[in-house]
Amino acid sequence: MKASLVIMAAGLGARYGGIKQIEPVGPAGEILMEYSIYDAIRFGVSKVVYIVRPDILEDVKRLSGNRLAGHKTADGRPVQVEYVLQSLSNLPAFYRVPEGRTKPMGTVHAVLCAKDVVNEPFVVINADDYYGVEALPAVFRELEKMEPEGMACMVGYRLKNTVYDFGAVTRGISRQKDGLLQGIKETYKIRRFPDGTIRDTGISEKGRVLDPDCLVSMNIWGFTPWIFKVLEDCFHEFLRSLPPEDMSSECLLPVAIDAMVREKQLLVAVLETGSTWLGITYKEDRDFVSDELKKLHDRGIYPLKLY
């Protein structure tokens, strides 16, 4: 099957305090997105699209993209590499960016930045997440049987497998029925407490206890190119609704997908996984993630060096 891997790598990493997308975490200095790239290529993907900020483009090329030069998929096809820029300079002409804003416009804008280089079914992932060796193959299998319009898929992770002890995180808590997404709520300030409970502390310090086994989105989605037009409409509506001096609001994929599901525009298959997610949000996450990745290499899931 012809499909692309689209990597969102343009975030600011404010909570991390640095450019976490290019932080070396593997035993041979691999950055986290390289594990998803490795899994995608061995499954057969022949195009990798990096969505980056202009200021980290050369670093992403040096640390990841250039390593793919000359590589081939399992069936012998050359791997194609594309770079697209997410910046405040490539927004619709009707929108005026407020002076002083530096924050990107969110993950919907990120995906739209790739529309000119993606003409086939594709998987969207975050650069600073590792999804487990089972996740990408599951999405690609779903893409093979997906209708060209009106359908998508997401991988659902158990909340308890996506929360560390180092600080608050944001997760898209989903509702599903018969394998289809019924709704998704972007939930901020989720924390694991000393008693083991996981709580939404967005309203109060004590927080609301969440079901540790509920499924959440970690921004791994399967789409067809049809989605670009629908997302573009959503993004334009979002921009038109912003106050003139808004400095921080973002148009987020889970919020957009939730609206499409509620309006019956989109059917989203939920692919459940028991895999443990690994990701970098805070500096304290780095050593833990590095240790867990080393275990995967030691078990033979990945070679001594990815490239």
User: Mind listing the pLDDT tens digit for each residue in 229-245?
Assistant: 999 999 999 999 999 99
pLDDT at 280: 85
Contact present, 106 and 255 (Cβ < 8 Å)? no
Over range 70-98, report the average pLDDT.
91
Residue 43 has a CB neighbour count (10 Å cut-off) of 18
pLDDT band per the 50, 70, 90 thresholds, residue 17: very low
Phi, psi of 81 (to 5 degrees): -120, 130
Summarised one tens digit per residue, pLDDT across range 135-156 is 999 999 999 999 999 999 999 9
Domain ranges in the chain are: 4-298
Over range 125-143, report the average pLDDT.
93
For tokens 């050593």, what's the residue? 287
Share of the chain above pLDDT 70, in %: 96
Higher pLDDT, 307 or 98: 98
Given 3.10.20.30, 3.40.50.300, 3.40.190.10, 3.90.550.10, which CATH number is that of 4-298?
Answer: 3.90.550.10
Higher pLDDT, 37 or 206: 37
pLDDT band per the 50, 70, 90 thresholds, residue 19: low
Residue 124 bridge partners (DSSP): 6, 221
Contact present, 34 and 28 (Cβ < 8 Å)? no
pLDDT band per the 50, 70, 90 thresholds, residue 207: confident
For tokens 């893409």, what's the residue? 143
Phi, psi of 7 (to 5 degrees): -110, 120
pLDDT at 284: 82
Average pLDDT, the chain: 91
Summarised one tens digit per residue, pLDDT across range 219-231 is 999 999 999 999 9
Per-residue pLDDT for 255 more than 90?
yes
pLDDT at 218: 93
Contact present, 217 and 184 (Cβ < 8 Å)? yes
Give the integer Cα–Cα distance in Å for 18 and 254: 25
Residue 144 bridge partners (DSSP): none
Give the integer Cα–Cα distance in Å for 205 and 203: 7
Summarised one tens digit per residue, pLDDT across range 189-201 is 999 999 999 999 9
pLDDT at 267: 97
Per-residue pLDDT for 180 more than 80?
yes
Contact present, 255 and 188 (Cβ < 8 Å)? no
